[in-house]
Structure 1
């Protein structure tokens, strides 16, 4: 198996504490690129456009769901989303570079198929929740395995592959599991982060329901990584390295966690399936932090990474002002 198809174990995952590893990634990356019924939402009045509306945050989440839906659809079925599911305003683009995975683990394959179906349902629900003139089109999405692609760029930042090398998410079960982990944890925090922007009761309920599904998905992936990591420690190390690479993109606060278990006071192992803060609450990212990750850039940008021409909609920039 070639180096681009095999997980390359990184000793950094067994090294210093997370705060030290995170500082390393921040120094290395710096500010440069690392590569159910319609709610009939309407646009806010022109005078209120300076304030982010529910339509705006809904469209931001739709961009993320376009990415996920295509990733899992192609990996499990070989085809991208249909034209009827991706039209809308803004600059339309293709989801390119993904291919079907020859899964050897039937459980992982079944879970990936469920995630494909759920992500498509989210896309269709979000689109139906907006009037036709407000829904954004799918932007250009990079899901490829080339050395210059988004997955490879993130994998290099995490030390999974070397300089100039490619990370192929579709080569085998382990690589796909890591690729899904790269994006799914961030999707959960994106939903959590937009909840305070919602005021319509029916919308809060609907987005809360989608957030719950995303959390179940992420937990399933984290559980599989932890279980497979018992025999293949490199997977646990890789999750920690990916976590630190993600953390280096979204600001000074250490938000992210891999799946390395901890220990109780008695010395028993404690799994880390649910990444929580000290109060036992789920991790949240702001809209800008979500875009910093998907653009693979810790600076102020409007394009890059997985969204090569940027996302569609009002919320495009990683700037916080």
Structure 2
């Protein structure tokens, strides 16, 4: 256990010392955008979550449920049904349907955007996890192979949308938009809490066949996201040093939050740096090989 605490502290210390510029802007402030564009931007995450959850639980995605929502955008690459235990499969199926509702709510309120091309292949997740731990895992990490792997892969996605919603609300111009995004945030927060709780139950277990515990994987992913976003610690794994725990009294960290146990916030560029996996809102990759859609995401690509 002492080794795990040391590993956690080391990862979080590394985050503080990362370069402030990684092949792109290190700007951490808000973007200038219309209310409509701010509300539409999260569709890039909502589509991603819908496709990942639905395909993993059911073996088919959004096109089998609400094809019009895609607005002509291409289906994802590499998504497949996951080998999940019955309880987890039911949870993920529910999450998938929730994401369909989120898409409907945003599209109804401000209009939609074409679904971007997503790469949800095992290879994309393997690259993400290799980058997180700092070396090539053998065999390559496969999110679809079992329940623990899938929950770790899920850990990598909803939280990014959650902190994006927190960062968006203060800049929305009217009550209707703030109410919508707050409601979306509530469910995204719940999804993240469920995933983190299920993982925390196995925090000290080794993930087969790697000599890495579940908690160590979450700390590595969170540290990578902090590094890619380049704006300080706004993401924490399941086990943290006391200085980062709630009221500095606990090393458990089922909910990631700041020193007052308030949710962290991220801006749209920070979100793009993470989901592209490149550390740059100008350079697509990762889950979005051609970049996101909507005016905010495309504005950065137009300047690349």
Flag whether TM exceeds 0.5 (same fold).
Answer: yes
Instruction: Give the SS at the match of 1:248.
Output: helix
How far residue 228 of structure 1 moved from its aligned partner, in angstroms, is: 1.4
Alpha-carbon distance between aligned partners in 1 of 2:180 and 2:138, rounded to the nearest angstrom: 43
CA contact (8 A) 1:250 1:298 kept: yes
Of the three residues 60, 67, 79, the one matched with 2:41 is: 60
Of the three residues 141, 147, 159, the one matched with 1:173 is: 147
Within-5 A mapping of 1:210-225: 210-225=184-199
Alpha-carbon distance between aligned partners in 1 of 2:134 and 2:202, rounded to the nearest angstrom: 17
Of the three residues 109, 120, 124, the one matched with 1:129 is: 109
CA contact (8 A) 1:189 1:285 kept: yes
C-alpha RMSD of the superposition: 3.0
How far residue 262 of structure 1 moved from its aligned partner, in angstroms, is: 5.7
Which residue does 1:109 correspond to in 2?
89
Instruction: Give the SS at the match of 1:96.
Output: coil
Within-5 A mapping of 1:82-161: 82=63, 83-87=67-71, 92-104=73-85, 106-131=86-111, 135-146=112-123, 149=124, 151-159=125-133
Q: 1:237 to 1:120 in 2, by over 3 A?
A: same
Q: 1:173 to 1:164 in 2, by over 3 A?
A: closer
How far residue 93 of structure 1 moved from its aligned partner, in angstroms, is: 2.5
CA contact (8 A) 1:13 1:238 kept: no
Which residue does 1:39 correspond to in 2?
none
Structure with the higher fraction of residues in helix conformation:
2
How far residue 11 of structure 1 moved from its aligned partner, in angstroms, is: 7.7
Alpha-carbon distance between aligned partners in 2 of 1:122 and 1:252, rounded to the nearest angstrom: 28
Which residue does 2:209 correspond to in 1?
none
CA contact (8 A) 1:143 1:306 kept: yes
Alpha-carbon distance between aligned partners in 1 of 2:96 and 2:174, rounded to the nearest angstrom: 28
Q: Which 5+ residue runs of structure 1 have no aligned equivalent? A: 1-9, 34-49
1:31 aligns with 2:22: yes
Alpha-carbon distance between aligned partners in 1 of 2:142 and 2:166, rounded to the nearest angstrom: 30
Structure of larger gyration radius: 1
Alpha-carbon distance between aligned partners in 1 of 2:15 and 2:32, rounded to the nearest angstrom: 33
The normalised TM-score by structure 1 is 0.79
Which residue does 2:295 correspond to in 1?
314
Which residue does 1:195 correspond to in 2?
169
Instruction: Give the SS at the match of 1:288.
Output: helix
Alpha-carbon distance between aligned partners in 2 of 1:185 and 1:155, rounded to the nearest angstrom: 16
How far residue 85 of structure 1 moved from its aligned partner, in angstroms, is: 2.0
Alpha-carbon distance between aligned partners in 1 of 2:250 and 2:223, rounded to the nearest angstrom: 22
Of the three residues 68, 71, 79, the one matched with 2:60 is: 79
Q: 1:211 to 1:124 in 2, by over 3 A?
A: same
